[in-house]
Amino acid sequence: MSAPSPTAVPSFRSRIGGDARSGYYAVPHRYRLHLAPSCPRCLQIAVTHDLLGLGDTLPVTLLPAVPDAPGGGYRALRPLYEASSHRTPGPAVAPVLSDGWSGRIVSTHAPDILRDLARRFAGRGPCLHPRGAGGPIAAVGRLCEEGITAAAQRAGQPGGDSAARDTALAALLGALDLLELRLASREYVLGDELTLADVQVWVTLVQLDTVHRHHLDAAAVHRITDHPRLWAYARRLAARPSFGSHLDLDGIARRHHAHCRGEEAAGAAVRIVDWAAHARTEAPEPVRQSG
């Protein structure tokens, strides 16, 4: 089975507002992102940050691929958690958006962080969250989380009820069919322009191929590969530096194997995309947070 998320994770969900009256508002160099690109939620944020051209506005601290604290957290993030909530229970996990002015956490909720990056920070990149696209982007996010990721995890459960695994696989294939159909008439998931929906779909496909595939049988993986437009789209995005350069393939593998609860199946031998052909194959060096 694929690696589960840490349990009892504390959540911080403040938002970046439009002006000073909101408390947290977009100011260059005020905030910092703390990311481990081996984590799919962190990878979404890293890609979005790059697409928006925020490297000079919003610095990033890269964390090790595999969490180094009990419960799946990071020791480096513990001071931020403690400063933000006294005796915070649970692991100190990434992603984190922190406020340099107060030394506290603004948010650990990846969907909120993605929206705030796209809507509140004036970068040099595309408009990833256009007016009126909030509902469709959220719907694609649910499709990725429930129709692909959760379904793939259930389909790869070792032992148990084979009928339940077959049902989960059917749900997974149905979600992929829907995306395949969308891409038959448009360049991107929501139309002719790149949006946050594409970032979500691309990272979900990376996880499906590099993590969840290992717990599926070969027949299931061959059915997954039978979506030529979808996987061509995944390859096309991987070739863009804002996507492919953040792929830490070794880190994804090490993170998965550190928490994996199941054995590999025959699908592990059926590679869908040669991600290494588009991404740097060495993990980025962790950057220590400056004081």
Residue 6 pLDDT class (50, 70, 90 cuts): very low
Hey, where are the domains in the chain? 134-247+267-277
Average pLDDT, the chain: 89
**CA 171 to CA 176: how far, in whole Å?**
9
Helix (H, G, I), strand (E, B) or coil at 209: helix
pTM: 0.91
Long-range contacts: 177-181, Cβ < 8 Å, 24+?
Answer: 177/227, 178/143, 178/147, 179/143, 179/227, 179/230, 180/227, 180/228, 180/229, 180/230
Sign of CA dihedral 199, 113, 153, 64: positive
pLDDT at position 274, please? 93
Predicted confidence (pLDDT) per residue in 47-65, tens digit: 999 999 999 999 999 999 9
CATH code of the domain occupying 134-247+267-277: 1.20.1050.10
- Give the Cβ contact number of residue 185 at 10 Å: 8
Predicted confidence (pLDDT) per residue in 96-151, tens digit: 999 999 999 999 999 999 999 999 986 778 999 999 999 999 999 999 999 999 99
Q: Assess whether pLDDT exceeds 60 at residue 230.
A: yes
